[in-house]
């Protein structure tokens, strides 16, 4: 089984990235042949600072490795290190129906939130389809909100196969139902774009500040509180054991504990959870050549597969 996933280097990684993409991807690397790319082409739809893009891309690699990605099991590489993906994007765009792209939820959402309506943003699902198809991917781990991208990928693969013969296999989504949406400090989906994030490797003072700024209702300290509607409880549940979750649920329902105390419990749990990863991150940063070596080896493996697929595509379409 070949597994494919990507993560954008659009900013510092937060716990929504970790539970939404990184943790599931790290778990899956033991199940098959994994290819994980840092989506620097995708980041160009919103990031136009070359120094920031390079810095963010490298930081993603460091953080991913610190969180447990094993480069002996999974290929980690820059999307731009496999130029065949842009060639395939153009080929797919020549058969992609406009109506299909116009129905993309992510495009509508980003435009509604004020992002410029560029051709690249509109064509984003085609580039994502190329990312998936270029490696003959079998499985793509995604959150429920990204399932449509896999459906679009399959639609484009079917259209290519119907037009030119059997070129592509149809990838299957692996929905990470346990953490479909990680809430930010305002209760909405955590996103750097919405400024509601808690970073994985933020410094202690800033991380504590972000946790303590989580939006809550005005329920008095002595009154029972609804854990199901609490961002604090939802985040705590990501880091705690089943027994610990049960314990804090009882505290919520019993009353007598204020939101400030719950936030302090959340911070301690979060900070302790990432402590081993912070240590590993320091070790990685101390080895100046390690990141470059990992990315080079990952790109070599990715290019070997992409070359084979593109040769098949070119032959089929007449190039």
- CB-CB contact of 52 with 227 (8 Å): no
C-alpha–C-alpha distance, residues 41 and 239, integer Å: 32
Tokens of 132: 């998936």
Tokens of 265: 């419990």
Closest CA to 133 of 100, 106, 93, 104: 93
DSSP secondary structure string, 44-65?
TTT---HHHHHHHHHHHHHHHH
C-alpha–C-alpha distance, residues 51 and 41, integer Å: 14
Alpha-carbon distances, residue 261 vs 210, 246, 255, 257 (angstroms): 15, 17, 12, 7
C-alpha–C-alpha distance, residues 41 and 79, integer Å: 7
Closest CA to 263 of 222, 241, 304, 234: 234
C-alpha–C-alpha distance, residues 106 and 112, integer Å: 10
Tell me which DSSP letter residue 181 carries.
-
Half-sphere exposure of 144 toward its Cβ, with a 13 Å CA cutoff?
7
Which residue, chain included where needed, has tokens 């939404």? 20
Assign 3-state DSSP to the chain and report helix, strand, coil percentages, each to 5.
60, 10, 30
The catalytic residue positions are 110, 189, 192
- DSSP E strands: which ranges in the chain? 2-7, 33-38, 74-78, 139-142, 172-175
């Amino acid at each position: 089984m070949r597994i494919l996933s990507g993560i954008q280097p659009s900013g510092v990684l937060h716990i929504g990235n970790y539970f939404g993409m990184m943790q599931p991807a790290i778990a899956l690397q033991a199940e098959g042949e994994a290819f994980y790319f840092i989506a620097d082409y995708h980041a160009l739809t919103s990031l136009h600072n070359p120094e920031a893009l390079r810095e963010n891309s490298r930081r993603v690699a460091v953080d991913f490795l610190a969180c447990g990605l094993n480069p002996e099991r999974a290929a980690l590489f820059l999307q731009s290190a496999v130029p065949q993906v842009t060639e395939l994007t153009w080929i797919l765009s020549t058969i992609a129906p406009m109506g299909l792209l116009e129905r993309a939820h992510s495009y509508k959402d980003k435009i509604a939130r004020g992002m410029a309506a560029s051709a690249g943003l509109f064509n984003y699902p085609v580039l994502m389809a190329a990312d998936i198809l270029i490696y003959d991917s079998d499985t793509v781990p995604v959150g429920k909100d990204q399932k449509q991208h896999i459906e679009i990928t399959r639609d484009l693969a079917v259209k290519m196969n119907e037009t030119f013969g059997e070129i592509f296999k149809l990838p299957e989504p692996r929905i990470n139902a346990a953490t479909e949406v990680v809430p930010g400090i305002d209760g909405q989906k955590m996103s750097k774009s919405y400024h509601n994030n808690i970073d994985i490797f933020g410094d202690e003072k800033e991380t504590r500040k972000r946790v303590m700024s989580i939006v809550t209702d005005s329920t008095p300290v002595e009154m029972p509180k609804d854990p199901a509607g609490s961002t604090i409880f939802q985040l705590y549940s990501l880091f705690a054991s089943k027994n610990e979750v049960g314990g804090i649920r009882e505290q919520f329902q019993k009353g007598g504990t204020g939101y400030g105390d719950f936030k302090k419990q959340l911070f301690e749990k979060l900070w302790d959870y990432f402590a081993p990863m912070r240590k590993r991150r320091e070790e990685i940063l101390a080895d100046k050549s390690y990141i470059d070596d990992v990315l080079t080896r990952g790109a070599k493996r990715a290019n070997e597969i992409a070359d084979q697929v593109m040769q098949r595509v070119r032959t089929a379409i007449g190039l």
